[in-house]
Amino acid sequence: MSDDERVYSEDDNMMVDDEETALEIAALQDDETLIQRKKEFINHKAALSTLVEEISQKNLDWVQRCDITSMSPLVVENTEDDLDRELKFYQQALEAVTRAKANIKEAGIPFSRPDDYFAEMVKSDSQMARIRQKLLDQQKSIQNSEEAKKQRQLRKYGKQIQQEKIKEREDKKKAALDKIATVKKRLRNANAGDDDDFDIDVNSDDEVKPGSGFVGKSKNGRPLPNKKRQVKNAKFGFGGKKRGLKKNTAASTDDMSGFSVKRNKGSEFTSASKKGKAKRPGKTKRQRTN
């Protein structure tokens, strides 16, 4: 066996011994942990009562101690009921506060802040102004949001009303076109002499209604307006172009049918144009005459 092999074998034996030692120590520690000593509780009532007497400070006034003991014990039937438990705590604290307030009044010690008392604020005025401004901004943003929501609803309602109006107009237009088509078809059938095949009451829709301003029908079947409307139509016309009726055109300029040489060169025309109106004499001439 060489020297190197001998060194390796000795190192292996030492590692095995160390592992066995570690396992034995761990086994002893496990045995110690398994053995648990029973904890003893000692209630020294006499010692505790003495300590309570020392720290009770009964020789001091109540105002200096400010301790309140509840007159009724706290009884909670179900400790898992959070609402009932907190309510019992609230009632006990309320009872203690009421008794303490009575004791303070009896001692004659003021506990309410006077109306004219001004204390230094914990927060500075600038910080309170920032907080107030922040609250105002939040309130304004909420109001703007509500107003925007209201406007959206109004626009939505307005669009709905607009769509209904558009649909109503389309329905009326469609009904009018259908009626016109029906009348045209009746007229075509009447002109063709085919009244037997197309038996529809023609006068059912086209009859003159009372109060409509029409007094009868013309030869072509159209309703005639009343006499007053006919006179106005004959005098002023009805429909058509109104502008530029008196404007000169090339045809009106070349038309000399209305020109009269005798009327334009007559004695009346020349004498009237030459003679003119007599002028009033001046002030000096009127004075001389007088």
Q: What six digits make up the tokens of 40?
A: 């003893």
* CB 240 within 8 Å of CB 249: no
- Write the CB contacts of 233 (distance below 8 Å, at least 6 apart in sequence): 225
- Write the CB contacts of 208 (distance below 8 Å, at least 6 apart in sequence): 214, 215, 216, 217, 223
pLDDT value of residue 93: 92
Q: What six digits make up the tokens of 269?
A: 């025309």
Average pLDDT of the residues of the chain: 77
Distance separating the N- and C-terminal Cα atoms of the chain: 183
Q: How far apart are CA 48 and CA 176, in angstroms?
A: 107
* CB 183 within 8 Å of CB 205: yes
Q: What six digits make up the tokens of 198?
A: 């197309």
147-200 pLDDT per residue, tens: 898 888 888 888 888 888 888 999 999 999 999 988 888 888 876 654 444 444
β partners of residue 216: 224
In this prediction, the residues of the chain whose per-residue pLDDT falls under 70 are 1-18, 22-23, 25-38, 191-216, 219, 238-240, 266-277, 290
DSSP H/E element including 192: helix 125-192
Give 9-14 contacts, CB < 8 A, sequence gap 24+. none
* CB 152 within 8 Å of CB 145: no
Could you tell me the sign of the dihedral formed by the alpha carbons of 275, 277, 282, 285, in that order?
positive
Phi-psi group of 57: left, alpha or beta (phi > 0 → left; psi -120 to 50 → alpha; rest → beta) = left
pLDDT value of residue 27: 62
* CB 214 within 8 Å of CB 221: no
pLDDT value of residue 142: 92
Q: Which residue has the tokens 């139509």?
A: 233
- The residue type of 277 is K
Q: How far apart are CA 258 and CA 5, in angstroms?
A: 154
Answer yes or no: pTM beyond 0.75. Answer: no
Picking from 26, 30, 29, the residue whose alpha carbon sits closest to that of residue 18 is: 26
pLDDT value of residue 96: 92
Length of the chain: 290
pLDDT value of residue 95: 92
14-34 pLDDT per residue, tens: 555 667 776 676 666 555 455
